[in-house]
């Protein structure tokens, strides 16, 4: 009998594989390539599969749906926790609701502008204080170089 080598047939990717990869991408924050490796799928084969017959839109919609469900679930859990629980003697906490408000509405979030303005004001106050300390009475100019001091003395 002649033994004929059988050709290895690659496993076909199914829509359930597509959904599982999307679930890993949406909920675990994996890349598509990493999610494919978790599911034992060749990433190149997966990309070819998603690019055919409009499956890339199906994949993107499924990822968005899973992300929105996860975000909604987490927000509900945070709201429940911040309302307090009398059964376990947990008091309500306003910080969770403040954080939720800052995330959901930009008007209530700390903007980068306000933080940088605060930092600039603090830096100006420090430099003004240093100028007063190191300003030479004989020369009314501002001292631009601050003398260095040894912090560690060899002894």
* Whether the Cβ atoms of residue 149 and residue 134 lie closer than 8 Å to each other: no
- Does 139 score more than 70 pLDDT? no
* CA gap 4, 8 in Å, rounded: 12
* Whether the Cβ atoms of residue 81 and residue 92 lie closer than 8 Å to each other: no
Q: Which residues pair with 90 in a beta bridge?
A: 85
Q: pLDDT value at position 70?
A: 84
Q: pLDDT value at position 112?
A: 47
For 105, the 3-state DSSP assignment is: coil
- Does 25 score more than 70 pLDDT? yes
| 90 backbone dihedrals φ, ψ, rounded to 5° | -100, 125
* Whether the Cβ atoms of residue 48 and residue 80 lie closer than 8 Å to each other: no
């Amino acid at each position: 009998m002649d033994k004929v080598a059988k050709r290895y047939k690659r496993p076909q990717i199914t829509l359930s594989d597509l959904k599982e990869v999307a679930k890993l991408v949406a909920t675990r924050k994996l890349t598509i390539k990493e999610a494919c490796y978790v599911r034992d799928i060749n990433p190149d084969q997966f990309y070819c599969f998603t690019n055919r017959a409009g499956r890339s839109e199906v994949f993107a919609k499924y990822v968005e749906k899973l992300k929105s469900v996860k975000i909604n679930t987490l927000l509900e859990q945070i709201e429940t926790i911040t309302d307090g629980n009398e059964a376990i003697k947990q008091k309500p906490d306003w910080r969770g609701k403040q954080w939720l408000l800052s995330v959901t509405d930009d008007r209530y979030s700390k903007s980068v502008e306000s933080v940088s303005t605060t930092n600039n004001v603090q830096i100006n106050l420090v430099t003004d204080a240093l100028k007063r300390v190191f300003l030479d009475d004989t020369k009314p100019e501002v001292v631009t170089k601050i003398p260095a001091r040894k912090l560690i003395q060899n002894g």
